[in-house]
């Protein structure tokens, strides 16, 4: 459900925070849903526990999560609205920054309007159903020997002819 990219310009804890917020806003995580204790969740995500702890703290401060008796965190009632508002604010900020950047780089205002209209004309992606999602993320079995998978022959020098 969550995918963190260590090579992203966005700090990992912010990636996790925004992904949890998006899941809550979309209804994938509903009020009362619990998230694992931060160390266990970090292990699942293959990341530093401090990353998860910081994301949890940020979301608790925002009023999205609260501590659960299990040691994990629980999504609070009304969190979906909070998340939707925060994500919409972030989208507005990104749009404003993109417009300012376009103007700073010399794009005419008419061209910016045209780009916005074109972006709005693209239909929103339809969310995948659970079964479609499982099919989409299934990986093909890993071939244990790369040489066999690529039908590549060994390039070692013939016996008796090598460097000594």
User: In terms of DSSP H, where are the helices of the chain?
Assistant: 12-26, 38-45, 49-62, 79-104, 109-121, 130-137, 146-149
Are the C-beta atoms of 6 and 51 separated by less than 8 Å? no
For domain 12-79, which CATH number applies: 1.10.10.10, 3.30.200.20, 3.40.50.11740, 3.10.129.10?
1.10.10.10
Annotated domain spans of the chain:
12-79
pTM of the prediction?
0.67
pLDDT band at 59 (very low <50, low <70, confident <90, very high): very high
Average pLDDT over residues 55-79: 95
What does the pLDDT read at residue 11?
93
* Tens digits of residue pLDDT in 89-146: 999 999 999 999 999 999 999 999 999 999 999 877 666 666 665 555 554 444 444 4
């Amino acid at each position: 459900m969550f995918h963190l990219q260590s090579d992203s310009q966005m700090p990992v804890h912010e990636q996790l925070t925004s992904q949890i917020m998006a899941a809550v806003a979309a209804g994938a995580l509903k009020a009362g849903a619990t998230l694992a204790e931060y160390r266990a969740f970090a292990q699942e995500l293959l990341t530093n526990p401090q990353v998860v702890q910081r994301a949890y703290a940020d979301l608790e401060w925002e009023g999205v999560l609260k501590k659960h008796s299990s040691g994990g965190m629980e999504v609070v009632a009304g969190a979906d609205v909070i998340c939707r508002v925060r994500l919409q604010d972030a989208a507005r900020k990104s749009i404003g920054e993109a417009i300012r950047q376009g103007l700073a780089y010399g794009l005419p205002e008419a061209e910016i309007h045209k780009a916005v209209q074109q972006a709005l004309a693209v239909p929103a992606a339809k969310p995948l159903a659970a079964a479609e999602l499982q099919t989409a993320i299934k990986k093909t079995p890993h071939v244990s020997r790369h040489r066999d998978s690529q039908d590549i022959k060994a390039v070692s020098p013939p016996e008796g002819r090598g460097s000594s």
